[in-house]
Structure 1
Amino acid sequence: MPDGILEAVSKRPSIPCGESPFVLAVGRLNVRKNLARLIEAFVRVARDDPKPDLVIAGCVDGAYVPITVPDDMTARIHFLGHVTDNELRWLYENCDLFVCPSLDEGYGLPIIEANILGAQVIASDIQVFRESNIAVGYFDPRSVDEIASAIRHGLDGINSTVAGHLTWEGVVRNIRDVIYNARRHSNAPKP
């Protein structure tokens, strides 16, 4: 994790949502990040619950299809674009739920950052996120129903078995364990 986020001084970004709870997603805006399904799932949740907003931080990058937000949800779904490390730290520290609906990830740094800074994390049920072992709930990223259900459970606090907040040293230890176990199972030479 870049030191910037750990050394940053928390600063509230300019977001139109007030004191209401908010769900946070962070990452580049591209098809792989699965934001269209996240928004569709959030809309289902928001139509039943008037409190939460959805905040998405990140810039357009790569293959991106503009996402249509229903007219009745434009005041509750906020695209921030690029945020500074100070603003990102504030978002992680103050969100009620961090969600990462990616279809595929190389490592998934945002869920590590969110966890280290105290956010409750739900994530796609993909191998890289399972290996990090920090999410309180996993969902099929191709299922809007499962994403919506995970958001509801996360906001309701039903998931009480938080895997624990990691330190950066814990993240490195997890990576080493995964590499060691992969080598052991493939009969490759040990480090």
Structure 2
Amino acid sequence: MSTTRFHYPQFLRTARRRIRRFQDKLAKKRFYRGGWRSYVDDLRRTRGDHPASGRIYVDLTVISDNDAATGIQRLVRAVSFLMARTAELDGMDLHFVYTHRDRHFHVDVGADGYRRTDTPVIYQPGDLFFALDYALDALWQMRHRLADMRRMGVRFWYLVHDFLPLTDPQWFSEPTVIRFYNWLAIIAGTADGIFCVSPVVERQLHVIMATQFGRAEPIPSCVIPMGADIAASRPSRGIPEGFDELLAAMRARPTILMVGTIEPRKGYQDALDAMEYLWADGQDIGLVLVGGTGWKMEAFDARLATHAEKGRRLHQPGKISDEALERVYAACTAVLFPSYAEGFGLPMAEALRFGKPVLARDLPVFEGRGNAVRFFDAQADTPTLACAIRSWLTDVAAGGNQVPASPAQPLYGWQDTADAILSRLSRQDGAVR
């Protein structure tokens, strides 16, 4: 006769966690379906009026726990370390924080990276909180405490990269759409200012805040210069096994590089379709895909895994360190950017800093990127895109589409980004409004 022993404390802890997750899921759906209105309306009516304290608290919730090696995290890492260095030199009262449940705790930022502490943050009237990190769930966990902080007189600034889960939900999972919408609603209720990564995002911001969340008065906003110098981002290190063979394969033939998470909107399927068209036509061109696998891409992943060109003219190193990324940028012939939508397009800026020509889908956000960027029609089919790639590479081989010494659009560094943010956040205007 067998018996089953229940470890009741563990059993109860597991049950409680499941109940909390279920309750949180329901709360998110209620908020998403209209519960946000009372939150936003209440916070727009109530606010303490206090002189600015000069203390700035910068959120690093995600990256202080795990650097996922995405473009957003390259930005967060670069800007946070440069902000810390500048603040120390200039004597600024700057602090870094992370979220645990519904509290903020201090993060030490130093030469060895990030170190989370168990010291809670105690906000005072006139303090400023800046959400540098892209932390949807942390902001949700903090929503009630953020409301209390705002009523106390704390100011709030946020960084917004794009609105794609709202404007193009078909590219994302339903939970992500809900989490993103709730994140925006919390911003609508608390924000005193918002940094945007491009003029396109800034224009969208004011329309969305007015039409979706009822903020008739424009939120103060600022378009920041976006850096792209990987070397200044406190780059992650490490070279994967077999990397020299990859670089040799890239140099053996004209090779196109694509950088970014493999997700539906990035145009990876279109790129591979066009490359197969060219390979069938006898073109000896390499394709390298750098980036982790995202969501809704199971069929594409299976296609890559069994592709006849895998390991020969098709390479997928996946997520790699910044050190390795610099080497593939240097080794490639040119960079392809067929994304259907972007807030900024960091890989394009990085490619231009490496002096690499770029072929990109014609999107409004890319206006003014300079002569080294060639565009193909946003609705191009496979033969049209293949023809554009072939023509582009022919011109590149002949010396065309090169990055000029003085590009039309400045190529900013991450120090420019950090300086612009600190300058705006440290601007004291006497009182919190």
TM interval, shorter chain, is 0.7 to 0.9
Query: Paired residue for 1:5, among 211, 222, 230?
Result: 230
TM-score of the pair, normalised by structure 1? 0.75
User: What is the distance in 2 between the residues matched to 1:34 and 1:66?
Assistant: 14
User: What is the distance in 1 between the residues matched to 2:299 and 2:326?
Assistant: 27
| Structure 2 unmatched ranges of 5 or more | 1-73, 79-228, 413-433
Structure 2 residue aligned with 1:21: 254
User: What is the distance in 2 between the residues matched to 1:121 and 1:165?
Assistant: 16
Structure 1 residue aligned with 2:289: 56
How far 1:145 moved relative to its partner? 2.4
Identity of paired residues, percent? 25
Larger Rg computed on CA atoms: 2
User: What is the distance in 2 between the residues matched to 1:35 and 1:142?
Assistant: 15
1:45 and 2:281 are equivalent in the alignment: no
Tell me which moved more, 65-74 or 21-30: 65-74
Structure 2 residue aligned with 1:175: none
**Cα distance per residue 1:119-156 (max 9 Å; x no partner):** 11110101112243354311124422232122112221
In the alignment, is the contact (CA less than 8 A) between 1:136 and 1:161 conserved in 2? Answer: yes
Alignment of 1:6-155 (within 5 A): 6-7=231-232, 13=243, 15=246, 17=249, 19-67=252-300, 68-69=303-304, 71-74=307-310, 75-133=312-370, 135-143=372-380, 144-155=382-393
Structure 2 residue aligned with 1:185: none
**Aligned Cα root-mean-square deviation (Å):** 3.1
Structure 2 residue aligned with 1:164: 404
In the alignment, is the contact (CA less than 8 A) between 1:30 and 1:64 conserved in 2? Answer: yes
In the alignment, is the contact (CA less than 8 A) between 1:124 and 1:141 conserved in 2? Answer: yes
Instruction: Look up the equivalent residue of 2:254 and give its one-letter code.
Output: P
In the alignment, is the contact (CA less than 8 A) between 1:43 and 1:73 conserved in 2? Answer: no
In the alignment, is the contact (CA less than 8 A) between 2:290 and 2:316 conserved in 1? Answer: yes
User: What is the distance in 2 between the residues matched to 1:165 and 1:47?
Assistant: 37
Instruction: Look up the equivalent residue of 2:366 and give its one-letter code.
Output: F
Check 1:60–1:72 CA distance in 2 against 1; reply closer, same or farther (3 A cut).
Answer: closer
User: What is the distance in 1 between the residues matched to 2:279 and 2:326?
Assistant: 25
- Of structures 1 and 2, the one scoring higher in RCO (CA 8 A, sep 6+) is 1
In the alignment, is the contact (CA less than 8 A) between 2:335 and 2:351 conserved in 1? Answer: yes
TM-score of the pair, normalised by structure 2? 0.35
Aligned residues: 172
